[in-house]
Amino acid sequence: MIRPAELTPERIAGMVDRLSQDIAVRRALPQWGRVHVDRRLPFVVVYRRPEDRSDAGTERIVSGVASYVLASGDPARREELRELLRAIAGIMREAFGAFLIIEVWTEPDEPSDMPRYRVVRRAGDGLDDTAEEVLAALDESRILGNQPKTSSSLERTVSPAGMRMLFGSRELSAMGAHVMGIAVNPVWRAPEDGEVYPLLLRQVGRRFTTALDRGAYRFTLDHTSATPDHYHVLGRRAVLKAVWELDAELAAIGESFDPLLLMTPVNAERAWTEFRRSRFQKAPRFSYRPLPVDPARLKHRLWNVRTERVEDPTLMYLFRDTQRQLDRQLTLLNDRGRPECVLTGMQIYSGVEPDLLSIARQLLSQLPVRQGGRRGVRLNAEEFASLARAEILGYREETPGFGSMPQVRDDIYAGLMVSSGQFLIGSEASLPSTRADALIQHEIGTHVVTHHNGRAQRFHLLAVGLPGYDELQEGLAVLAEYLVGGLDAERMRVLAARVVAVHSLVEGADFVETFRLLTGHGFTQRTAFTITTRVYRGGGLTKDAMYLRGLVGILDYIAEGNDFERLFLGKYGVKHIPVVDELLLRQVLSLPDVVPRYLERADVKDRLEGLRRGVSVLDLVTRSAAK
């Protein structure tokens, strides 16, 4: 960013002209600092960097908001800063009727592990509710497990120590502006030498941004003509070039390998034959695809992605979280076939909680065991692929370019799989015709739809998948089976058995012991082998517990009255639902491009409405059986 020699009236007029057209302004200021206002907003946050001491990191806790000015605290630059703020206030007062200036500064460094915030105001400023909202938000912003100490004071001047107040009472009145200050103790740096603790600085910055947005929201409702629905509406919309670059780089890394595909055996049929010949006494030996990447080299590339370039604390959180998840996935590939694989996988997919295990055991004990396997017409791989193609074409009638046609492949033991939006069908697959619709909605109506919607977003990571997306995805996919009337007792018992098998793996049981455990629950030898193989692939993978866990979670989500269709926006996890909601309000993300076609069916609408009254997973099967 080229720094101008002077902040001339002409430069200021150029900024005002852009803001009058609701166009973002981002400009460097002389000596140090910048102005960033991404649209017309009734507030600005100001930080003046002291000239007489280092104040490392403070600008980072301010630059997460949608409207801020970072400027030098040099007294010689004060007047040009005042002129800039007058100009911004003028255009905003015209749009909203009032304007708020929040100045932020740090108190002298004192050893403390507890954040302290002091809201500074002038008597009679009319900002009681605004100050209370800021203090309430700061009270909720725990750092290192500590609740911050907050206070409020009325003072004659609202400015950092050693600096003159930017505007006096008469000037503020003429500008239609209000001023409030927030003094912060810089817990993000060591008081002895000023060394910055980057993780702590990011935590403080994210929580402080929320407090600033909430204060601006309260002020907007109380003093202006605007009526935003939520404080996130006042958050950042303008996305910097660095964000798109980071998103593209992380997405490219994520798309360069598919952990699930690479952890799936390519010799499962032969392994089944060997296992049966051993009279089920000797664990099978599995073979896997060669790794298309070098995990160590890819990790080097991954951690060279400079997420600290992102000002927006919410987006930085997503990028850093994605880096950690990709790192764990690469470690998982490196540990494939080793004892460490189980522990690495648990960092990604978790284990089995006592409540989940209890539900699984209840399902296995109460649901009837089907005798003699599934009866009726079965579909081979090509027949099923024909139905899947028809479903894809149905989406393309409304959304040209949706998805890609399914592929029948010899190396897909799992039977069905979606990898990077591509629907893969094992050539040896034999599927009951009564389950065809449910399986299509599981794979296409969920996994392909969310991949498409993720690609339609500006953030490609929503197509690759944010950390923890598997659980929500599989919960939605199993729920789709229920909604179209295809979730029967046998299928539910399989989901429960996967949980029991994962628990057995984590408890240290070997392949044969878990296989026997499942046959003891009434499963055929072939079904028990299939479930055990899924759980012990690659050396042990706990992912399969996610299907039942995700289903339980999605039932709770719907019963709480939350928006169901929004979950198809892309591939993200339960923990990211509030983040996605925030980015939707900020118009950084958009609603799903398509929603599953099955939601148009009358019987599906009836079932979905029934779920809003609250049901258990066992209820799903009994309701399906009753119909």
Other Cβ atoms closer than 10 A to 449: 27
Q: Return the bridge partners of 45, or none.
A: 68, 102
**Same domain membership, residue 496 and residue 363:** yes
pTM of the predicted structure, to 2 decimals: 0.89
- Answer yes or no: is 298 within a domain: no
**Same domain membership, residue 176 and residue 282:** no
**Same domain membership, residue 40 and residue 127:** yes
pLDDT along the chain (627 residues), means of 10: 81 95 95 95 97 92 97 95 97 97 88 84 95 96 86 95 94 96 93 88 94 97 96 93 95 94 91 96 95 96 94 94 96 94 95 97 92 74 94 95 91 78 88 93 96 94 94 96 94 97 97 98 95 96 96 96 94 94 95 96 96 92 63
Which of 160, 156, 171 has the alpha carbon at shortest distance from 58?
160
**Same domain membership, residue 600 and residue 465:** yes
Half-sphere exposure of 554 (CA within 13 A, CB side): 29
584, two tokens: 């939707």
Given this model, what pLDDT does residue 621 score?
86
Given this model, what pLDDT does residue 626 score?
52
Name the domain count of the chain.
Answer: 2
Residue showing tokens 């017409």: 377
- Answer yes or no: is 475 within a domain: yes
DSSP strand pairing (25-28 vs 378-380): unpaired
Q: Largest Cα–Cα distance of the chain, in whole Å?
A: 93
Question: Is the separation of the CB atoms in 510 and 504 below 8 Å?
Answer: no
Given this model, what pLDDT does residue 113 score?
72
Residues contacting residue 608 through CB under 8 Å, at least 6 positions apart: 483, 558, 564, 599
- Answer yes or no: is 330 within a domain: no
Given this model, what pLDDT does residue 52 score?
87
- Answer yes or no: is 328 within a domain: no
**Same domain membership, residue 284 and residue 231:** no
Residue showing tokens 């996305």: 239
d(CA 67, CA 19) in angstroms, rounded, equals 11
Given this model, what pLDDT does residue 177 score?
97
d(CA 64, CA 586) in angstroms, rounded, equals 13
Query: What percent helix, strand, coil does the chain show, rounded to 5?
Result: 55, 10, 35
Q: What are phi and psi of 184, to 5 degrees?
A: -125, 140
Q: What totals of helices (H) and strands (E) does the chain contain, helices first?
A: 25, 13
Q: Which of 208, 237, 266 is the last residue of a domain?
A: 237
In terms of residue numbers, what domain contains 486?
A: 258-292+335-626
**Per-residue burial over 66-94, b = 16 or more CB atoms within 10 Å of its CB, e = otherwise:** bbbbbbbbbeebbebbeebbbbbbbbbbe
Question: Is the separation of the CB atoms in 132 and 153 below 8 Å?
Answer: no
Given this model, what pLDDT does residue 350 score?
94
**Same domain membership, residue 174 and residue 266:** no
**Same domain membership, residue 229 and residue 263:** no
Other Cβ atoms closer than 10 A to 227: 8
| CATH code of residue 46 | 3.40.630
DSSP strand pairing (422-426 vs 407-409): parallel
- Helix, strand, or coil (residue 45): strand
Q: How far is CA 141 from the centre of its chain?
A: 20
The dihedral of CA 454, 458, 461, 466: what is its sign? negative
- Answer yes or no: is 92 within a domain: yes
Residues contacting residue 270 through CB under 8 Å, at least 6 positions apart: none
DSSP strand pairing (149-154 vs 378-380): unpaired
Given this model, what pLDDT does residue 623 score?
63
Q: How far apart are the first and last CA of the chain?
A: 66
C-alpha radius of gyration, the chain, whole number: 29
**Same domain membership, residue 49 and residue 180:** yes
**Same domain membership, residue 589 and residue 457:** yes
Q: How many residues does the chain have?
A: 627
Question: CA 241 → CA 92, 277, 377, distances in Å?
Answer: 26, 60, 55
Question: CA 500 → CA 75, 358, 514, 548, 562, distances in Å?
Answer: 69, 9, 9, 11, 30
**Same domain membership, residue 143 and residue 14:** yes
- Answer yes or no: is 426 within a domain: yes
Given this model, what pLDDT does residue 430 score?
87
**Same domain membership, residue 272 and residue 164:** no
- Answer yes or no: is 464 within a domain: yes
- Answer yes or no: is 306 within a domain: no
Question: CA 605 → CA 116, 369, 468, distances in Å?
Answer: 51, 30, 28
Q: Return the bridge partners of 432, or none.
A: 378
Other Cβ atoms closer than 10 A to 240: 18
User: Apex CA 187: angle with CA 185 and CA 191, to 5°?
Assistant: 90
**Same domain membership, residue 133 and residue 163:** yes
